[in-house]
Structure 1
Amino acid sequence: MTEHTPIGLGHETTPVRALTHSGNFHADETLGYVILHYALAPQGDLRARILGDGPEDRLTFTRSRVPGQIQASDIVFDVGGVYDPAAGRYDHHMKNKPLREDGTPYSAAGLLWKDYGLAAIRNMLAEPVEDAMAAAIWQAVDKALILPVDLDDNGVAKMGRLSLAEIVSTCGAAWDTAELYGAEEAGKREMTGFADAAGIVARYLVGVVDRARASLKAVERVLRAYEQAEDKRILVLETGMPAEKVIFERDLPVVYVVSPAGGGQWNVKAVPPARGEFGQRVSLPEAWGGLEGQALADVSGIGDAAFAHPARFICGARSRAGAVAMARRALEIGAP
């Protein structure tokens, strides 16, 4: 991820001055600031630091295009015309812009994530994780969030409507703000908008990191449950968790996933023929569709059967044993 020690890491008490450009802002530099916040000064006030009205902390943040301020800053990103990470310079707007190994151009956020992402992850997680898990989370977040920001910011592929990029943009002031309210008020609204956007991006990044951690944890548990399964077509999970991703990535022959649904009930969910598609590898029995309670128990022969969806992709029972029995019965009836 990096072969040098990024500025500010390894010297946790040294003050760091970070700067990005003023004016219109995007997901790129907003996310870049949030990454630096969590990597270098997570105890500081993310919003107040932008507005300049918070208590002093290790990280100082400025939005400016003034050459003297750029030169005086320790970390400069998305402005300045230089990519030199050892010197704390993370721009990507040059002719010879920094590229990923596959040729995809980086955004400033991508460049900062490469150097500061691991430190940010460790400060975001509630509990410490081993190096291998931290690296896996870094990779998952890079793919799910950072790469799309790189692509969007460089005009390669838009994130689309209602995306993080769109939400960040709507935090900015409208084009005629200065015309309507004057330059001073427009400047205030610009800074407030950036602070608003940073708060949204920070919450989103924390959520993406934690979901990546939980997803990786789920992989281990799903594979363990699969290894222990008597019938490899029925996956029994003792806790609800995402399983479909693992099933398709590992090409597991699972047909039904049994897991608790709350309130003492256990559900049987049919696996689709391909990830994200409608339909099922093996639908639940046609005779069960739309039935509940005693009517379903009579038809299925499972005494505590609770319900079966009319679309026959999910059903449930009032016990673990009942749900497993429903899955087995469904396979007896419907498996080719």
Structure 2
Amino acid sequence: MAENSAKRLKMDHGAVVIGTHNGHFHADEALAVYMLRKYIPTYSAAKLIRTRDPKILEGCDIVVDVGGEYDAARNRYDHHQRTFSTTFPDRETKLSSAGLVYMHFGREIVSRRLSQPEDSEQVGLVWRKIYESFIEALDAHDNGISAYDSAGLEAAGLKKKFSDGGFTLGAMVGRLNPNWNDVLPEDPVEAQAAEDKRFELASQRIGEEFDRDLDYFTAAWLPAREVVAAAFAARREYDPEGRIIVFKSQSAPWKDHLYTLEDLEPESTKSVYVLYPEKPTADAKWRVQCVPVAKDSFQSRKPLPEAWRGFRDDELDGISGIPGGVFVHASGFIGGNKTFEGALAMAKKALEL
């Protein structure tokens, strides 16, 4: 493993050297460099050299995104070779330098944050989740892989309804490169120094986003797993078929965990509504949220009744026949009631309609 081979790195006058390419930079090597320097002690004080000179790269202790070689034993992590086809375990997207570095060093990063062994279940869960939620998008972007099958979209006649500005993680880094008409220093050394300064800014910027993901999935997402599992286990207390999930004290990030738990019981009826208090106090109002057909979908498995949508307070009470109504969103994906009993009544009645 690269983690072990890192201990055998050759030192250049006491300095460890990370090598990557110069010229136009991308999100994958910017993040790869950041992860190594921020989270792996061996590289915390590493010098960065950006070059395409094979002789200089040969002297680097670790090389990412350049050099035409993937060999973890030698700390070489390029993905541009014609024969390269490596993917993250159980995923289909070909890796970039970000994915390669994360695949080999990510467990160590998560392990240090959780203070748990690298082979623990919790470390494995977060390691995989961060890849799927963050790193994989960079791998796809750098390898020119679309999130959707373009031929399938064309065949279905589907087109974008509006421009999203092309703002992706990769684009965020890409815009930090010089513009085509920027005036650059004439001296090659000065020009390279200016380019390296831009790269350092890009590496820090994409790294900050990675930090936020790491913080979220270790400090919030992972602890939510137990909360969701407890609510899922108690789901038949509120509906014989288990279609209503209740978080008694406060809500937690539930979608990922709920879908995972459902997958473990494929024969069970799918959850339809999730109930939770707006805040963890005794007088809190309650929400009734519909479970989406998929995590990122705006389509609900069963929206709240059409007749309730867009109404509030007394009007909603009169239409639904349930006192304490606060609102139902115009799209029917969420509603509210002043009490838990009222929210539960809304969910049960909605199941019947």
TM-score bin (small chain):
0.7 to 0.9
Asked if residue 240 in structure 1 is aligned to residue 263 in structure 2, the reply is: no
**Structure 1 counterpart of 2:275:** 258
**Structure 2 counterpart of 1:294:** 314
Q: SS where residue 6 of structure 2 aligns? A: coil
1:22-44 deviation digits (Å, cap 9, x = unpaired): 221111211110120233249x9
CA separation of 1:198/1:329 partners in 2, compared to 1, >3 Å: closer, same or farther?
A: same
2:125 to 128, 136, 157: 136
CA separation of 1:278/1:70 partners in 2, compared to 1, >3 Å: closer, same or farther?
A: closer
Asked if residue 38 in structure 1 is aligned to residue 38 in structure 2, the reply is: yes
Contact 2:2 2:72 (8 Å CA) reproduced: no
2:63 to 71, 76, 79: 76
**Structure 2 counterpart of 1:268:** 288
CA separation of 1:106/1:234 partners in 2, compared to 1, >3 Å: closer, same or farther?
A: closer
Pairwise mapping of residues 94-133 of structure 1 onto structure 2 (< 5 A)?
94-97=81-84, 99-100=86-87, 105-123=94-112, 125=113, 127-129=114-116, 131-133=120-122
The one-letter amino acid of 1:61's match is L
Distance 2:128 2:292 in 1: 27
Asked if residue 64 in structure 1 is aligned to residue 51 in structure 2, the reply is: yes
1:318 to 322, 338, 353: 338
Distance 2:251 2:67 in 1: 48
- Name the Cα RMSD after superposition: 3.2
**Structure 1 counterpart of 2:4:** 5
Distance 1:92 1:279 in 2: 38
Shift of 1:149: 2.4
1:161 to 158, 166, 169: 166
Q: SS where residue 7 of structure 1 aligns? A: helix
CA separation of 1:243/1:34 partners in 2, compared to 1, >3 Å: closer, same or farther?
A: same
Contact 2:322 2:346 (8 Å CA) reproduced: yes
Q: SS where residue 278 of structure 2 aligns? A: strand
CA separation of 1:77/1:239 partners in 2, compared to 1, >3 Å: closer, same or farther?
A: same
CA separation of 1:76/1:181 partners in 2, compared to 1, >3 Å: closer, same or farther?
A: closer
The one-letter amino acid of 2:83's match is N
Q: Which segment is superposed worse, 187-196 or 209-218?
A: 209-218
**Identity percentage over the alignment?**
32
Q: SS where residue 294 of structure 1 aligns? A: helix
Shift of 1:298: 4.0
1:147-177 deviation digits (Å, cap 9, x = unpaired): 3323332334489921111111111112343
CA separation of 1:228/1:41 partners in 2, compared to 1, >3 Å: closer, same or farther?
A: same
Q: Which segment is superposed worse, 230-239 or 139-148?
A: 139-148
Distance 1:258 1:23 in 2: 52
1:296-334 deviation digits (Å, cap 9, x = unpaired): 3344444332222233322112233332232223334x1
Higher relative contact order, chain-length normalized (CA < 8 Å, sep 6+)? 1
The one-letter amino acid of 2:347's match is A
Pairwise mapping of residues 140-151 of structure 1 onto structure 2 (< 5 A)?
140-151=129-140
How many corresponding residue pairs? 313
Structure 1 stretches of at least 4 aligned residues deviating more than 6 Å after TM superposition: none
The one-letter amino acid of 2:69's match is V
Task: Give ranges in structure 2 of 5+ residues lacking alignment.
Answer: 149-164, 264-268
Distance 2:270 2:40 in 1: 45
Q: SS where residue 97 of structure 1 aligns? A: coil
Shift of 1:206: 1.6
CA separation of 1:99/1:311 partners in 2, compared to 1, >3 Å: closer, same or farther?
A: closer
1:240-284 deviation digits (Å, cap 9, x = unpaired): 233334444425521211012248221101224555444443332
